[in-house]
Amino acid sequence: MTVFQIILMGLLIICAVSVSFSKNLLNSVLIYMSFSLVMSLLWICLESPDLAITEAAVGAGITSVLFFVTLKKIHAINIAEKSEEQKASQCPAPEKGGQDE
């Protein structure tokens, strides 16, 4: 049983370290999701099933969903902004045309 725990804890440390060095935000959120899954496995090895269910449902489930929604929202704002810039860059062109005539 302890060998299994040691493996899980090694996984935990790898996940934690890789989160801080990963460049892409999506990757770090995914790694964090796996971190909390491994954590709920660890709770089971430590003989506390209550914690396992709660960590799985609340930690892995809800927190990761909130992270994904935040990233989506930020991504959405980026796209909206780029589309506005394109609209802004297109519309002055016709005005210049107007002045030439």
Partner 1 sequence: MSKRKPAEEYHKTFAFHFFSWLQGEKDPYLGNVEMKPQEEYVIDPEMQLRHEKEHDAILDKVYDMAHNRELRLFHRLYQATSILFCLFLMALLLVTISHLPATGAAVKPVNNEVAARYIESGLEETGAVNIVAGMILDYRAFDTLGESHVLFVATITVLIMLRLDKNKKGEPNPLTRDMNPNDRIYEPKNDAILQLVASFLVPIIIIFGIYIILNGHLGPGGGFSGGAVIGAGLILYLNAFGFSKTERFFTEKTYKWICFFSLSFYCLAKSYSFYTGANHLHSIIPKGTPGAILSSGLILPLNIAVGLVVACTMYAFYAMFRKGGF
Partner 2 sequence: MGPNLWINYGEAVAAILFCIGFTNLLLQTNLIKKIIGLNIMDSAIYLFLAEKGYIAGRTAPIVTDGITSVEAYINPIPSGLVLTGIVVSVSVSALMLSLTIRLYIRYHSLDLDEIAAQLKKEGR
Contact indicator for 40, 8 with CB cutoff of 8 Å: no
Task: Write the DSSP string, 13-62.
Answer: HHHHHHHHH-SSHHHHHHHHHHHHHHHHHHHHHTT-HHHHHHIIIIIIII
Candidates 50, 85, 95, 101; binder of partner 2 (CB under 8 A) is: 50
Instruction: Kindly identify the residues of this chain, within the stretch 8-47, that bind partner 2 according to CB under 8 A.
Output: 9, 12-13, 16-17, 19-20, 25, 28-29, 32, 35-36, 39, 42-43, 46-47
Question: What is the binding site for partner 1 (CB under 8 A)?
Answer: 48-50, 52-54, 56-58, 61-62, 65-66, 69-70, 72-73, 76, 79-80
